[in-house]
Amino acid sequence: MNSTEIIETLRQKIAVPSGRHLYGVLGSYAKLDAFAEKLRQAKTQDGIPFPRPVNVNRGILEAIPDDEFKRLAENEAKHPEPTAAHVKRAFERFLRESLSGGKVVVLANLEMLFAYNIDLSLLRTIAADENKVLLILPGRRASGRIVMFHEMTEGDYTLPTNLIADNHLWEIRE
């Protein structure tokens, strides 16, 4: 689908007042940046402009006090589990603070979640009824799965199966 088709489909889906409201758009970083610009120019069926994407990495880092972050960074090589647990808690706080009942929240820059192998099921649980979440995801469909960061040469990250319903996940093809 192209950006315009995705935005029009998204507008229709978020207009439904209840149900699961977790959506995703896949593409290269360049295509996702262009999509986010077009999305900012569009409005929901209620006439509300779509919001600017929120940087999840920045939100996580801002949720961790500087002195704690320094301590975590110093000990991460020896003890990565406490750092991952801290990132998970910071993400949960950030996500709950970002939700603004009834409006769409657009999340981008989720690299830290994958780097620390953070369970993304909170997104599926929290994105329902008045909480509407759109994920901007650098990735592509390949062999029945969603390969994340497909432009990278090392690492193998995939989007968890069934996190986003297939009819709520679109790939930019323009």
- pTM equals 0.90
In a domain? residue 145: yes
pLDDT tens for each residue of 27-46: 999 999 999 999 999 999 98
**What does the alpha-carbon distance between residue 142 and residue 66 come to, in Å, rounded to a whole number?**
39
In a domain? residue 71: no
Predicted pLDDT of residue 102: 62
In a domain? residue 78: no
Amino acid at 144: G
In a domain? residue 167: yes
Q: How many domains does the chain have?
A: 1
**What does the alpha-carbon distance between residue 43 and residue 132 come to, in Å, rounded to a whole number?**
14
DSSP H helices, the chain, are 3-14, 29-41, 56-63, 66-75, 80-98, 111-115, 121-126
pLDDT tens for each residue of 68-98: 878 877 887 787 788 888 899 999 999 988 8
In a domain? residue 127: yes
DSSP 116: T
Residue 167 confidence class, pLDDT cut points 50, 70, 90: very high
CB 106 within 8 A of CB 53: yes
In a domain? residue 77: no
Highest mean pLDDT among 15-19, 91-95, 127-131, 154-158: 91-95
Domain that holds residue 143: 3-54+101-171
pLDDT tens for each residue of 134-157: 999 999 988 888 888 877 666 678
In a domain? residue 62: no
In a domain? residue 165: yes
Q: Take residue 154 and report the two structure tokens written for it.
A: 């090392």
Cβ atoms within 10 Å, residue 66 = 9
Residue 120 confidence class, pLDDT cut points 50, 70, 90: very high
Task: Select from 142, 115, 124 the least CA-distant residue to 26.
Answer: 142
CB 117 within 8 A of CB 110: no
